[in-house]
Amino acid sequence: MSKLKLIGFTLLRTILNIPYRMIYAFVPQFARGLGVEPSVITNLLAQRALVGVFLSFIIPFIETRGRKFGMLLGLGFFTAGAALVALSPSLATFGIAMVFGLVGKSLHDPSLISYVADHVEYEKRGVAISITEFAWSLAFVGGAPLVGWILSRYHWSTPYAIFGLLGIGAFIFVALALTDSAKPVHHEDGRLGNLKQILKSPVVLVAFSIGFSLLAANELVNATFALWLEDSFKLQIAALAGASAFIGFSELAGEGLVALFVDRMGKVRAAGTGIVANCLAALLLPIVGKTHTGALVGLFLFYITFEFTIVSIIPLMTEVMPSARATTLSLAGVGHSLGRMTGALLSPVIYGFGFSSVTGVVIVFNLLGALAVWYISRHHD
């Protein structure tokens, strides 16, 4: 697969990731714009994650339609959600757009990653997938400052008009430029055959639990870091946008490290190393976070180690059941969504005891993930 095509896929994923991630960076600003408490926004994040649990079961029904179909369907939902807020801004449409954005990612991303896996051998797949994962960090590096600039000058719903137009452009690009890979064949047991096969595999199920633990830990920090920075240092919207971009750079570095080392280290070993490093970063975060600079350094270390870990797991997941890649990746999204929902629901309660309590619970979730990685190490890679 050419680097040019991988760059194009990265840009597509960046478009979907910016509105998905910007909520975390600007929880106080969206809450004020909508006239609600910040807890309302974090509750919406939890509800979005809960919806993601059920969305992942759609993929088994559309995987045999091909990767291109899944990508286009996802982009269609994404664009519809953004347009809805742009045309009728309210708390209700804001919540609907969050769900539609998740629907879009849940359909688009497994299809895109499966397309890459179809065309890149496993030994080199870590590099290829890590390139498309740059979209996650670019959403903060480039997207957060842009959204912050827009929010400081225009209405809170203005970014959604821009995302709607970008979604239309992305849809047209995929429809005209992408040649689909060979469509997966139907399972001999019908449309739910792949699902039944996955649910009977202990290794695959334990692999799913890694994502749950890591995403629960990460969501605790995602949902509270903006409040922590604002409460501790009275940061305004421009400073929060800058902090988000700084976090994006750390994730970008983490994805770069994956590209350099994951195929050489092995996917399981890389994931285990990343979890240990993320625990150390979480332990350090409240210690160094007594100053604005120290807080940014701590967040940098936390997000670079998390990103290295989670991106290392993705190529592993593409190979635990190759006959049903998109379904496996989508069901892994169930674990991710449950983890995000758990972290989002716990975040306001735990943050009430202080940010140190947040990082303590992060370490507990990470250790659960480490146990799952140890189990996988005995059966895979």
Residue 189: which CATH number? 1.20.1250.20
Output 102 or 316, whichever has higher pLDDT: 102
Residue 19 has pLDDT above 80, yes or no: yes
Cα distance from N-terminal residue to C-terminal residue, the chain: 23
Q: Tokens 């919540």 belong to which residue?
A: 95
Q: Which two tokens stand for residue 126?
A: 């870590």
User: What pLDDT is recorded for position 380?
Assistant: 57
Q: Which residues contact 113 (CB under 8 A, 6 or more apart)?
A: 129, 132, 314, 318, 325, 329
Q: Are 344 and 191 in contact (CB under 8 A)?
A: no
Residue 159 has pLDDT above 70, yes or no: yes
Which percentage of the chain shows pLDDT scores above 90? 30
CA-to-CA distance for 5 and 112, rounded, in angstroms?
Answer: 11
pLDDT in tens, 241-263: 677 677 778 878 888 888 888 88
Residue 184 has pLDDT above 70, yes or no: no
The domain of 56 spans: 3-377
Residue 322 has pLDDT above 90, yes or no: no
User: What pLDDT is recorded for position 182?
Assistant: 66
Of 296, 281, 293, 278, nearest in space to 226 by CA = 296
Q: Please state the pTM of the whole predicted model.
A: 0.70
Q: What is the number of domains present in the chain?
A: 1
Residue 373: pLDDT band by 50, 70, 90 thresholds?
A: confident
User: What pLDDT is recorded for position 198?
Assistant: 72
CA-to-CA distance for 9 and 13, rounded, in angstroms?
Answer: 6
User: What pLDDT is recorded for position 191?
Assistant: 58
User: What pLDDT is recorded for position 186?
Assistant: 54
Mean pLDDT of 268-272: 87
Residue 122 has pLDDT above 80, yes or no: no
Q: Which residues contact 311 (CB under 8 A, 6 or more apart)?
A: 129, 130, 133, 254, 255, 258, 262
Residue 138: pLDDT band by 50, 70, 90 thresholds?
A: confident
Mean pLDDT of 64-93: 92
User: What pLDDT is recorded for position 240?
Assistant: 66
User: What pLDDT is recorded for position 202?
Assistant: 75
User: What average pLDDT is seen over the chain?
Assistant: 84
What proportions of the chain, in percent to the nearest 5, are helix, strand and coil? Answer: 85, 0, 15
Residue 56: pLDDT band by 50, 70, 90 thresholds?
A: low
Output 61 or 303, whichever has higher pLDDT: 303
Residue 189: pLDDT band by 50, 70, 90 thresholds?
A: low
Mean pLDDT of 6-16: 92
User: What pLDDT is recorded for position 83?
Assistant: 96
Distances (CA, A) of 289 to 141, 228, 282: 21, 10, 11
Residue 317 has pLDDT above 80, yes or no: no
Taking each helix axis from N to C end, the angle separating 202-222 and 267-288, rounded to the nearest 10 degrees, works out to 20
Of 349, 359, 231, nearest in space to 286 by CA = 359
Residue 67: pLDDT band by 50, 70, 90 thresholds?
A: confident
DSSP string covering 84-131, please?
Answer: HHHHS-SHHHHHHHHHHHHHHHHHHHHHHHHHHHHHS-HHHHHHHHHH
Mean pLDDT of 181-189: 59
pLDDT in tens, 343-369: 988 998 999 999 999 999 999 999 999
Of 287, 283, 313, 298, nearest in space to 377 by CA = 313
